[in-house]
A and B are shown apart, each in its own frame.
Chain A
């Protein structure tokens, strides 16, 4: 192929049509509170690991909802299951339980 000296940049658009939501649906079946999140950010703000790593539970949940699990799941490896996010969540989501279920269903 001729090298023209430039390359194509992949689009950053999230194509919802192509998202495979089967694992997320499976998650919601065992963790119906997964869709109660209103993205307030309390979990990320209180996270003991989040200040040293990229862990952000709000972004993880949103990423799963948009079918971008590959982008967000590695974050969960930094979670120490301290449970501070559970204490602050205004929607009362059992975040620790939710994180464990995510790990189980998405096999991480």
Chain B
């Protein structure tokens, strides 16, 4: 018997899961709140560790969408449980009966303006990692004008309890180094600094990225969190931090500061959780049945997770989880039959 699987979120997790669920012989129904599929990934230019093209990855993910029903610009209005079924009503007026639901709701970018001391939205030359990717994609950003000194601030809204995110966002260290190298290629004469607390280069080839950033691109590393940014009379940025390895405060004047905004829990998590009874952790991300063995299953029967909905993840981790979730959903149907 064909079963309907409602997939909430059309980013890499939702798209990959949809195809796999279809391949198992079930009917995926994918909804995405934005006007195109791809999630945050669609806004990126290149990916770490080796500068892989986002466009190519998106092409692979969307190459074979036959048999997948998807709706963009669509939100969930309500989800109700009826015995073994979930009835979901969408904002476009359509309602579906689903035998299982997959939450591939991802994350929300940390709003960098919340860290007021860094001056995002206040000073002219402070941008975020997402803004820089937009610049790589379009070549346009009035805030980037032949910068001679560039800084990257790691952990903006990550490992920061006061900002509401105790967790490490996992992907920013590698992204910062990737972006720093790309900027050095665009502006070979620029001096580029990375302000980090720890460089968490945990994945395969990440350490090579670090070594390349040092040796090939001459990126300079300062261990210390930027404490405050101000603007001088010429509109340049004065950046203060402690160089914790030297044990002294440092001050540098810069032409561009890139804030590595981290991953916050998706802002819609509490709403969705209240409709379905799935658990939310203290950190705001969805809580799976357990973190080791049942990481794609929720506490509610027939509801599953994939990707950054359960915490910050890299692209390959997200894609693998989407496949694992598709398998878990198929297994769940087989047990029910």
Instruction: State the CA gap A107–B25 with chains docked (Å).
Output: 75
Q: Is the interface of B mostly helix, strand, loop or mixed?
A: strand
Q: Which of B210, B215, B218, B246 contacts A66 (CB 8 A)?
A: B246
- The chain A residue with its CB closest to the CB of B246 is A62
Chain B, residues 238-276, CB within 8 Å of chain A (1/0): the string is 000001011011111100000000000000000000000
Are A66's CB and B253's CB within 8 A?
Answer: no
Chain A: minimal CB distance from B263 (Å): 26
Q: Which A residues are in CB contact (< 8 Å) with B137?
A: none
Are B246's CB and A35's CB within 8 A?
Answer: no
Q: How extensive is the interface on chain B, given as a class?
A: 10 to 19
Interface window among A10-18, A45-53, A95-103:
A10-18
Chain B: minimal CB distance from A70 (Å): 14
Given contact pairs A16-B250, A63-B246, A35 touches B218 in the complex (Cβ within 8 A): yes
Within 158-203 of B, Cβ neighbours of A (below 8 Å) are at 199
> Counting CB contacts under 8 A, is A74 at the interface?
no
Are B248's CB and A14's CB within 8 A?
Answer: yes
Instruction: State the CA gap A8–B253 with chains docked (Å).
Output: 25
Are B215's CB and A32's CB within 8 A?
Answer: yes
> Counting CB contacts under 8 A, is B77 at the interface?
no
> Counting CB contacts under 8 A, is A77 at the interface?
no
Q: How many residues of A contact B (CB 8 A)?
A: 21
Chain A, residues 68-82, CB within 8 Å of chain B (1/0): the string is 100000000000000
Q: Which A residues are in CB contact (< 8 Å) with B251?
A: 13-17
> Counting CB contacts under 8 A, is B122 at the interface?
no
> Counting CB contacts under 8 A, is A28 at the interface?
yes
Are B211's CB and A36's CB within 8 A?
Answer: yes
Within 7-53 of A, Cβ neighbours of B (below 8 Å) are at 12-17, 28, 32-33, 35-36, 38-39
- The chain B residue with its CB closest to the CB of A65 is B220
- The chain B residue with its CB closest to the CB of A15 is B251
Chain B, residues 205-219, CB within 8 Å of chain A (1/0): the string is 000001100110010
Instruction: State the CA gap A33–B214 with chains docked (Å).
Output: 9
Footprint of B on A, CB under 8 Å? 12-17, 28, 32-33, 35-36, 38-39, 58-59, 62-63, 65-66, 68, 91
Given contacts A13-B248, A13-B250, 16 further A-B contacts (CB under 8 A): A12-B248, A12-B249, A14-B249, A14-B250, A14-B251, A15-B251, A16-B250, A16-B252, A32-B215, A35-B220, A36-B215, A38-B221, A62-B245, A62-B246, A63-B246, A65-B220
Footprint of A on B, CB under 8 Å? 199, 210-211, 214-215, 218, 220-221, 223, 243, 245-246, 248-253
For the complex of A and B, the 9 pairs showing the least CB-CB separation, nearest first, are A16-B252, A14-B250, A13-B249, A17-B253, A39-B245, A35-B214, A13-B251, A12-B248, A36-B214
Q: List 9 A-B contacts (CB under 8 A).
A: A13-B248, A16-B250, A16-B251, A32-B215, A35-B215, A36-B214, A38-B210, A39-B223, A66-B246
